[in-house]
Amino acid sequence: MMGTPMTGTPGIVITGASGRMGQMLVQAVTQSDACHLVAALEREGHAWVGQDIGTAMGGAALGVTVTDDPVAAFAKAQAVIDFTAPAATVAFAGLAAQARAVHVIGTTGLSDDDIAAIDRAAHHAVIVRAGNMSLGVNLLVQLTKKVAAALDEDFDIEVIEAHHRHKVDAPSGTALMLGEAAATGRGVELADVRDSGRDGITGARKRGDIGFTAIRGGDIVGEHDVMFAADGERITLRHVATDRRVFARGALKAAIWGQDRAPGHYDMLDVLGL
């Protein structure tokens, strides 16, 4: 059995345990000395509910049975790591806050109303939310802010992202983080300059707009370019993720960082001190 539970380290629940990120997170937690797995959650009716999470993943038993009961799972946890879907994440934010567990949210595609609900839960507990938990992307956010602040609107800003064929939301959470960073650097609101989904006779590009393009295909883990294009020259900042472990590593760091912090809605820049 991997990762024997240690009482001195935070107990972690992984939601969406059968998912691409869920399985990566179960592996990361069970291999870590800094935390231990107390529960694995899946949606009601999922084939893995009732099975040992280790054997369901095709490996050795881990002694943790997949459950569909978030209240019971969260009651025994110090942190909930959640990469699922918007409706689930909003419900989990309330339940994790009631359990006073740190809620690490990787889920993307959240609406403004979803984020407002998460903000309300963060009055009572620690929530760390980021569209991308990797160190590289969070550094890229800061670089994007700086480059955007240094250049004027002669440089058109375009965010181009590519992901696997199963991804359901666009632009990606990361692309939106980068677009927000570019807008902040320029001193504008992203909502006022955002241009997504060009198709047909769109008219010429509007000066000052921040454009988004989404590519979906194959097994691409996650690639992001921020392009600053002017007449005669072009700068491109790029991040390429080749392994989902980079997201899992960031999420574990956030779960541990959040222990004993004051309630609030934090992001990975807080966790990484960037």
Active site residues: 163, 167
Does 19 contact ligand NAD by CB under 6 A? yes
Does 109 contact ligand NAD by CB under 6 A? yes
The entry of ligand NAD, ligand LLHOTIJI, none that residue 88 binds, CB within 5 to 8 Å by partner kind: ligand NAD
- Where residue 86 falls (left for φ over 0; alpha for ψ -120 to 50; beta otherwise) is alpha
How do 79-82 and 102-105 pair as beta strands?
Answer: parallel
User: What number of helices (H) and strands (E) belong to the chain?
Assistant: 10, 12
- Torsion, Cα 168 66 100 88, to 10 degrees, reads 20
**Per-residue contact track with ligand LLHOTIJI, 208 to 247, x per CB under 6 A?**
--------------x-------------------------
Tell me how far, at minimum, the Cβ of 229 lies from ligand LLHOTIJI, in Å: 22
Q: Which of residues 33-92 bind ligand LLHOTIJI (CB under 6 A)?
A: none
Does 163 contact ligand LLHOTIJI by CB under 6 A? yes
Does 179 contact ligand LLHOTIJI by CB under 6 A? no
As given in the structure block, the two tokens for residue 96 are: 């994790």
CA dihedral sign of residues 162, 163, 166, 168: negative
CA separation for the pair 171, 151 (Å, rounded)? 24
The residue ranges that bind ligand LLHOTIJI (CB under 6 A) are 108, 131-132, 163, 167, 172-174, 222
Residues that bind ligand NAD (CB under 6 A): 15-16, 18-22, 41-43, 46, 83-85, 88, 106-109, 130-133, 173, 247
